[in-house]
Structure 1
């Protein structure tokens, strides 16, 4: 092999590598543009602060404008394919899939269950049993007519997971606070002595939950309910009822032990 042939092969390899660099650089730039940005917050609340996810890129590429020369569009098949791929919204959305998969892996390593549909909950317009007129009626089994409820509709949703569910190893802190004002006509005046019962309520629920690799979990729940009624039969008005519960659960059969719960 002559020196000239060796030089030509070396030059061809360099040109191929150089021509491929802009494409690789463009792909890396697009991937880095949608990477989540870590939150900037104090150290104590930083783990509970959501990261900033850049929005999807909706602008078209400048390739089409670069193909216009002297008022004419010079378009080849390769250019048409490149334009279709660069300006495809489905491809832009699919760029977030590896990031979501990485977050799901991190969630599984932390002991989180499969992402599912949350169950519907309604805390407003509820009173503690025995508190006020409606509380005593609820304790006696009488319908209090709380009206419409709020919550998420989870009908026709099926969530399944094979094997034991690893408890959430990260501490979970939740707080729900509701304020409500309810006016309810009374069909029986013997208890309330008013034709229209007016309730002003404040409900507070705070929960702290911690899971363990042994398969158990500990939960502390603090519940407080404030009630102010216009009924003259209430001896204590307004009322403030407080309840605190400590729950410790541990599986001894399915899901017991660090070997099954430390898997990823």
Structure 2
């Protein structure tokens, strides 16, 4: 702010200060260096035609290669080259912009929109992880406001005054800060495979040889442990566990050496109270799907806010451009009057005091022109900042901007009755739909958290197949007891594991009751309280929308009245100036009187220019308030999402 004040009051610009730029943070991938305006123009001249830029598209990683799931994925590095449309609008070292050009450039280059576009694949990743049983991280659907400039007093910086509910539903503040999404623990749905294998050699000194028959006991074991486990959306858990080993010892009391062991466990469990059902275990999936809808609506709100902002910046530029021209004409007239009076002074036709007054007036108008040029330069910088990805090109940074549209088209919303405007707003505004989805998410959470109150009761069943085998121990000292009818090889041992030779069956239940259950009860009751707050917020948002529409209509009516008053004041000042100049020619008025009348005319022209800009911004604001910004400007939401304008 101090820099702007310095520019307005001092009227000088340091080129080195304009060229400064903050260092970019470290990124995982390289960033393409954007070509300068001159390089872009040269490339276009060589190619003979503009190349259609590639639209924004980020596809979630997927592959049929089973090993790709264990490799990191990357996103294409940023492309910070401005769209070809920008260099097509440069002529003779000046940037000529119409309002439609401004809107198209904003859709293609504005960094706020570019930032928000990444929220859409982020929402898709949330859905992907919830389908695997993970929690929903949420997506920040707050409207980004990194672009400087724009916005009138009646506008909200977010561009959508009622996005708070939708933002919370999307998880911008984090699910853990409330009971949103709370409930029983959801186990991951992706299968888990565990495998462990090892060889073990053990040597043990024995004080008593009765157990193994040797004073130094040696044992060699080769063992394999494996388990396959998976949870399903109903809460069902399935596990298959296999354990097998081959063991050799120097014991004289073992009948088999080596000894083979094989064990298969098949286990199924199903919760029937807490943790049961698709609604409970797929609640994060439902929230993630709602978040995708919220993100798409949030992008529409972002597009409305960005277009509203750049339109405001454009009309500020128009006002500054016209004011600078008014100050130029005013100073030119003052200089001409001073030259004429100096000639009159040489002829002794007027007193010296008249020339001194003229010189004072010229100095004042020079100061006014300096401030006007500073304001114009600032607005040129603001609009270039809003319409480019980078402005570190010195040629672009210092390039004058010429606005081509000096008056906007009539707005049909200006003549509609207030109830029709409110009905349109309730139908079109993205924040209305976001609030409705937020209530749906809150209802999902309200239903699923009830399941957490129930005791944990799981029914389970398991089957176990055991088998032993191995060769007879040649060192067996048990005499006639050293016999066995078990299979001697691994194949026979495995076969007995699966053919019900030595099965075990078990079925039962596991009941876990939390006495008093205060945590779950408090969470459930809190979720009801938060839902009531959400209902109040929803009603408040509906009231806010009605107020916003009415306020925008009032502002438009006031702006229109200011334009009429400023136009009448300008016309009156013009007539006064014409009459005073005629009277001067007749000798009834002095040149200083004419100079004062012309100054009044310049002030009136500047006021009219400012009033017209405020009126155009009021029309923009009522479009925003009723949600008509995109439709009124012929903007395709698909073009806005891709960042390449093909329909306008």
Q: Which structure has greater helix proportion?
A: 2
Instruction: State whether TM-score is above 0.5.
Output: no
TM-score computed with the length of structure 2 as normaliser: 0.20
Q: Which has the higher contact order (CA 8 A, sep 6+)?
A: 2
Higher Cα radius of gyration: 2
Q: Report the structure, 1 or 2, having the larger strand content.
A: 1
TM-score (norm 1): 0.41
